[in-house]
C-alpha cells in the first residue's frame, strides 16, 4: 500500500476512535479542529441538527492582521480566543473538544487552552482535575470494594472443583 494511503487510513481510524465518544448538542457543541501546515481552523458543531454554530480560523481578516503566519502556536491561541468570543456571542459556554486524528499537543493544545482561558469550557486542565480529586477525597471516604470477597469466592470455587475431581476418582 502506498505510504500516503496507509497514513490516511491510520488517521481515519484515529479520527473515528476519538469521534465515537464526542457528540455535539445545542447546549454543548463539538469543537472540532483542522490543522494544515499553514493555517488552523476551528468550528463549533451541533451534531444533532447538523449545523455549524461558530467558526474561527487563521485565515480570517481579524486574525490575519495580528499574525504574519497562521501555522504556529501563537496563531492557534488567537484562533482559540476568537472562537470563544464568537461562542459567547452565540450564548455557548461549554463545548466537547474533538481533536480529530491529531495529538493533544502543540497547536491543537494551544487552541483548546486559549479557548478555555477565554471562557469556553472545552478541556479540563490538570490543575482543575487535581482540585476535583482533592475535593472528593476531602468530602469523605468513598465505599471501596474490598478484594477479600473476590479472594474468598475464588478459594471456594477451587475447593469445589477439587471436591468434584475427588468424587470422579472415587467412582
Is pLDDT of 56 > 90?
yes
- Mean per-residue pLDDT, 119-129: 75
Gap between the Cα atoms of 139 and 106, Å rounded: 36
Confidence of residue 78 (pLDDT cuts 50, 70, 90): very high
The pTM for the full model equals 0.67
State the maximum Cα–Cα separation within the chain, in Å, rounded to a whole number: 91
Q: Give the contacts of 27 (CB within 8 A, at least 6 positions apart).
A: 94
Please provide the CATH number assigned to the domain covering 3-126. 3.30.420.100
pLDDT of res. 22: 75
Confidence of residue 114 (pLDDT cuts 50, 70, 90): very high
Contact criterion met (CB below 8 Å) for 64 and 38: no
pLDDT of res. 103: 86
Amino acid at each position: 500500500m502506498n505510504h500516503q494511503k496507509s497514513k490516511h487510513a491510520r488517521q481515519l481510524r484515529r479520527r473515528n476512535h476519538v469521534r465515537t465518544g464526542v457528540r455535539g448538542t445545542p447546549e454543548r457543541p463539538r469543537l472540532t479542529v483542522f490543522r494544515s501546515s499553514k493555517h488552523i481552523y476551528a468550528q463549533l458543531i451541533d451534531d444533532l441538527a447538523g449545523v455549524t454554530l461558530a467558526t474561527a480560523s487563521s485565515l480570517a481578516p481579524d486574525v490575519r492582521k495580528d499574525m504574519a503566519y497562521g501555522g504556529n502556536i501563537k496563531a492557534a491561541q488567537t484562533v482559540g480566543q476568537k472562537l470563544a468570543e464568537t461562542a459567547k456571542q452565540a450564548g455557548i459556554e461549554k463545548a466537547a473538544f474533538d481533536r480529530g486524528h491529531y495529538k493533544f499537543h502543540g497547536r491543537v493544545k494551544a487552541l483548546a487552552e486559549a479557548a478555555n482561558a477565554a471562557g469556553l469550557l472545552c478541556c479540563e486542565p490538570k490543575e482543575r482535575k487535581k482540585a476535583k480529586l482533592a475535593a472528593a477525597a476531602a468530602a469523605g471516604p468513598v465505599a471501596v470494594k474490598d478484594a477479600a470477597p473476590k479472594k474468598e469466592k475464588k478459594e471456594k470455587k477451587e475447593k469445589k472443583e477439587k471436591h468434584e475431581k475427588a468424587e470422579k476418582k472415587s467412582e
